[in-house]
Amino acid sequence: MYRSDERGLSLSKEQWSVFILLLFHLVGVIGLASPFHDLFALLSPMNLLLTLGILVVNHQGTTKKLLLVGSAVALIGYLAEVIGVHTGAIFGTYHYGKNLGFKVAEVPLIIGVNWFILVYASAYCAQHLTKNWKKFQWLKYPIGAGIMVSLDFLIEPIAIQLDFWQWQDNHIPVQNFIGWFLIALALQPLMHTATPNSRLSPWVLGAQALFFASLQLVL
């Protein structure tokens, strides 16, 4: 009886990962709505690193290939941001604030991690949404990019309030969403070469969506 209960109470790696993921996002919402807002805003990069770790640990496949492809995705996304910040040609005119950590070329290094997380998770979801569309498998690329842009609609207003980045005249341009879609669309086929198959991907996107939607209500 005792052993049976013990097995019943045990959690799998995936279940623990979901629990930790949701807990950290919940703590983040509470912390950012508290008098310790500034401290929790500075800890935002740690949340992204935790999410990265959860995705990689739960990836079912060759980790070496994932890290190689993921590094390329992160680098391309980061370089797009560098070009964007210095020229305004991709996303519009903006600059990064202090709360995303150490910067190189005026862009926080953690931004590359964010690109990896979002491209991986959206690619997984798009792949499963289109798995039975035999003649239309190519649609997984624009669908994945569309998922990323949809999430960005939730992120943008809160990112400004948290001083992640700031837009010229406090106006989020349509160009930003077009730029996001095009860069994401270019990165989707690359990520698919690593076969993103962490079943935590929908949880990652869901946790981020709830996180930013909740902050719109409490900030």
pLDDT of residue 5: 45
Tokens of 149: 């842009």
Task: Tell me how far apart the alpha carbons of residues 148 and 187 are, in angstroms, rounded to a whole number.
Answer: 11
Number of domains in the chain: 1
Q: What are phi and psi of 116, to 5 degrees?
A: -60, -50
pLDDT of residue 2: 41
Mean pLDDT of the chain: 93
Task: Tell me how far apart the alpha carbons of residues 50 and 110 are, in angstroms, rounded to a whole number.
Answer: 12
Beta strands in the chain (DSSP E): 94-96, 103-104, 107-108, 165-167
In-domain check, residue 134: yes
Strands 165-167 and 103-104, how do they pair? unpaired
pLDDT digits (tens, 9 = 90+) for 90-147: 999 999 999 999 999 999 999 999 999 999 999 999 999 999 998 899 999 999 999 9
Is the separation of the CB atoms in 21 and 204 below 8 Å?
yes
In-domain check, residue 184: yes
pLDDT digits (tens, 9 = 90+) for 150-192: 999 999 999 999 999 999 998 999 999 999 999 999 999 999 9
In-domain check, residue 109: yes
In-domain check, residue 113: yes
> What's the sign of the alpha-carbon dihedral 9, 200, 18, 13?
positive
In-domain check, residue 171: yes
In-domain check, residue 70: yes
pLDDT of residue 9: 52
Find the domain containing 114 and state its range: 13-218
Q: How confident is the model at residue 49 (pLDDT cuts 50, 70, 90)?
A: very high
Given a cut of 70, whether residue 56 has pLDDT beyond it is yes
Q: How confident is the model at residue 6 (pLDDT cuts 50, 70, 90)?
A: very low
Is the separation of the CB atoms in 145 and 185 below 8 Å?
yes
Work out the percent of the chain whose per-residue pLDDT is above 90.
Answer: 90
